[in-house]
Chains A and B, each alone.
Chain A
Amino acid sequence: MWDYTDKVKDHFLNPRNVGEVENPDGVGEVGSLACGDALKLTFKLGKDGRIVDAKFKTFGCASAIASSSVLTELIKGKTLAEAMKVTNKDIADYLGGLPEQKMHCSVMGREALEAAIENYQTGSTEKHQLQGRVVCNCFGITESEIAKVVMENDLHNAEEVMNYCKAGGGCGSCKGEIQKIIEKVQGDKVKHAAVNMPKKVGKLTNLKKMQLIEQTINEQVRPALRAHGGNIELVDIVDNKVIVAFRGMCSQCKQAEFTMKDVVEAKLREFVSDDLFVEEETDSANESCRGKE
């Protein structure tokens, strides 16, 4: 059971400002049923340019509802410029803190606010589109979104990023890329961050290399693919060429090529040797079209 603060419980059980503002000036919708939480924020501006009313509707757990409730309380009476400065940390702090794995609920609040303000400014009634390149395909999280939570919350590893914005929490194949974004944002602070993995060995015998490749695929790659009903098979190793085949869901996935280079090859280079490169077994690609695992 989660250890929620009294503030969280209060805002969950007695949420403030539930519903939708009539004739709103701004509407922000983020999340989806598939993601497990979603928030619709509506606000109305007064003559003085301040938010006179804000309401929310939320699908999600207790902390998602509490975060939404607090968001509406925080922005009421603020000008849009002031409201823009509200961060997910403000929401979490107001609640007396959230469990680490629930921080993404506070981030959803801030995203909805951004979307609503953008809707007011551009007049666009389109559902809020996040800017930039999508890094986490499972939850549709962009590079800029990840960079933002890293900066605002001083995050140092992929695990934290997952807790704050869900990125990397599905198949996990984007974790390497998330680490790179953290390094970019945090600079030298995390360059040498401890990663829980065995150190790469210098000179490898062929036997040792084969063992390490197998071990890396078993421990670093397969669990991520398995989580999404896919699988990978090590077919052969020819000098530095590692031949693999994707199975199950992965064999029909358009992300497979990306996964192969970005995940499989990256992991093998990280754990085994920089000289390795990965190729997909060609026969199995045809076989997979028949949809048989």
Chain B
Amino acid sequence: MDTVYFDNNATSMVAPEVFEAMKPFFCDNYGNASSMHSFGGKVAKVVTNAREQVANLLGCDASEIIFTSGGTESDNAAILGTLASVPDRRKIITTRVEHPAVLEVCRSREGRGYVLVEIGVDKKGRLDMEQLEKEINDDTAIVSVMYANNETGTIFPVEEIAEMAAAKGVAFHTDAVQAVGKLDINLSKSAIRMLSLSGHKLHAQKGIGILYIKKGTRLTPFMRGGHQEGGKRAGTENVPAIVGLGKACELAAENMEKENTYVRGLRDSLEKGILETCPDSFVNGDIENRLVNTTNISFEFIEGEAILLMLDRFGICASSGSACTSGSLEPSHVLRAMGVPFTAAHGSIRFSLSRYNTQKEVDFVIDKIPPVINRLRELSPFVTK
């Protein structure tokens, strides 16, 4: 049975070109970039090259890129590092729909001398910009708002928020792990001060990411114990992963157009196919303004885990905001913040595509879904006929 992988917001395949680029840095060129010998020096050069590849994708200077172990570390470093650097400011602003890598970090500071404000969203998942603007003040240490939501794909006006924050002299951080490679980002023209990127969401390996830190941003180092990354992030460079991430960023820049035409086309075709064949289903999030690869569909009266397990029998991979899939008892915090009724939140399925998917796979899924939905509705006490 072939795998139909429609769960790219969870993680993505390592691109074959990325894997190829990484290979020489395990058994052959395994030197330490900090060494004085030329064997290590060779490696330092490829790290520099990778940094430039990342900077090219983001439209920033290579010196503004810090390699980290991934999106979660970058988020931690940005938030905690900023708080440490402006100890006189005691307010943190974020949103109710952030990834836990931001939300939990912010909440962990609450009460420990910090006030946390979580901005709410409307039923399409759009931020309450009025409240946001009102909350930013002299006491605010950081505003952290994700570029695009991982569950619904809803894109936030981060450039606008970054300017709002900058106007009041407040640092702005964005978790852009879902957006990089899908949206055109040019940080040299932006007021964004910090941005997190994760390698494995754009066809590099797991365990590598970056934190972009705009020149002139005050940030206390999060990881100490070495001079690497300009003293901002200690630890011997993960060279193969860094090389891979550089390559993945280069590929992402080349494929940006394809994401916006080909991948969008697949997503739209999938969404249309499902909505047409499955009654009582609807899309969650801001349909007009969301990531081109993501669709989050609620199937009423049935539960997400059951849908996923039935799809799994056909090799179809997706994810759900249902409580049961996580082992918690309540459905996705994102859908709840949006006020999606429980009935629909429990039955929500996220499909997230990549440029490695095909129309044939989309057709296969459109073919397999209706019987699964019908079968589960036959079992449901809430469907009466």
Contact = CB atoms under 8 A, between A and B. Distances in A.
B302 A59 contact: yes
Contact of B306 (A40, A61, A102): A61
Given A214-B111, A218-B112, A59 B380 contact: yes
A218 B110 contact: yes
A222 B329 CA distance: 19
A23 B214 CA distance: 72
A58 B381 contact: yes
Interface string A40-63: 100000000000000001111110
Interface residues of B, number: 30
A68 B328 CA distance: 21
Given A29-B381, A40-B381, A59-B382, A64 B110 contact: no
Interface in B69-124: 107, 110-112
B329 A162 contact: yes
B327 A33 contact: no
Contact of A33 (B111, B325, B343): B343
Contacts of B111: 214, 217-218, 222, 234
A166 interface: yes
23 contacts: A18-B378, A29-B381, A33-B382, A36-B323, A36-B324, A36-B330, A37-B324, A39-B381, A40-B381, A57-B381, A58-B380, A58-B381, A59-B379, A59-B380, A59-B382, A61-B322, A62-B306, A65-B379, A139-B329, A170-B330, A214-B112, A218-B111, A222-B110
B112 A64 contact: no
A15 interface: yes
A12 interface: yes
- The A interface is mostly helix, strand or loop, or mixed, namely mixed
B309 A12 contact: yes
Nearest to B116: A231
A170 B380 contact: no
Nearest to A293: B117
Interface of A: 2, 12-13, 15, 18, 29, 33-34, 36-40, 57-62, 64-65, 99, 101-102, 139, 162, 166, 169-170, 214, 217-218, 222-223, 226-227, 234
B110 A57 contact: no
Nearest to A223: B107
A61 B380 contact: no
Nearest to B120: A229
Interface string B343-385: 1001000000000000000000000000000000011111000
B331 interface: yes
B305 A62 contact: yes
Given A33-B346, A59-B303, A61-B322, 4 more contacts: A33-B343, A36-B322, A61-B304, A99-B327
